[in-house]
Structure 1
Amino acid sequence: MDTSDVMTWVRAYERAWRDQDVGAVERLFTEDALYLRGAYDEGLRGRAAIAEFWLDPTPFSMTAEPVAVGAPTAVVRVEVHYLGDEPHEFRDLWVIRFAADGRAEHFEEWAHWPGLEYTDGD
């Protein structure tokens, strides 16, 4: 996958998320894909688990830019602004490993947000 392919996948992900298109999970992820929502998340395994998590009707804006692409893995910097009753934002790095068919087999988010503590509080 080259940078153009990766960003095509990211745009399809955004469109599917925005449209609440759970059927797109099949087009975006392999059957046994692992979806990690954070650095220490145990992850969601398989499209059924990803589809269940997928639905979130909160309106948002999103920007994305590739940081590194080296087949089969890409890193994309993503910024999401939720526009609902309680606006909030995230800056993420997405680490995506693609299968030969162009679907993600491993998706990992490294999310940060305003006010995130960088220590354990001690």
Structure 2
Amino acid sequence: MNDVITHWIDGYRRAWDSNAPDDIRALFTEDAEYRTRPHAKPWHGRDEIVAKWIEVGDEPNDYTFEWQPVVVTDDTAVVQAKTDYVDNTYHNLWVIRLAPDGRATSFTEWWMEEPRS
């Protein structure tokens, strides 16, 4: 399963950098849900995920990203990550529920901005 989540994260980063609809679409099942915050209204289905992703997308390569798995089971991965932008640093916790083919059926992210010193 660690290979599956590594492959998925690699695809996520590819989509993050490209904002290409096909790269984004490849990550999710047709009926997937994407939550930008745990209690936020989810984006439903690949078409909405692609549209919203592009709408709020980052510029390619304007960040550094480190991650590590916290828990990985047959169908769920919890990932802890850190994203550094020029002006901000975020600590992330992702819960990714995966279909047998390795695409996400559900993605929920928690992100916390690191205080500036």
TM-score range, shorter chain: 0.7 to 0.9
1:63-90 Cα shifts (integer Å, max 9, x gaps): 111111011000011111123xxx2121
> Normalised by the size of structure 2, how large is the TM-score?
0.88
Which one has the bigger helix percentage?
2
Where does structure 2 lack aligned partners over 5 or more consecutive residues?
A: none
Specify every segment of 5 or more residues in structure 1 that has no aligned partner in the other structure, as ranges.
Answer: 116-122
Aligned length, in residue pairs: 111
Fraction of identical pairs, as percent = 33
Which structure has the greater CA radius of gyration?
A: 1
> 1:44 and 2:47 equivalent?
no
> 5 Å matches for 1:98-109?
98-109=98-109
CA root-mean-square deviation? 1.2
Q: TM-score, normalised by structure 1?
A: 0.84
Counterparts of 2:28 and 2:114, CA distance in 1: 30
Which 4+ residue blocks in structure 1 deviate beyond 6 angstroms? none
Match of 1:53, SS state, is: helix
Give 1:98 deviation, angstroms: 0.3
Structure 2: how far apart are the matches of 1:42 and 1:112?
19
* 1:35 and 2:34 correspond: yes
Tell me the CA shift for residue 25 of structure 1: 2.0
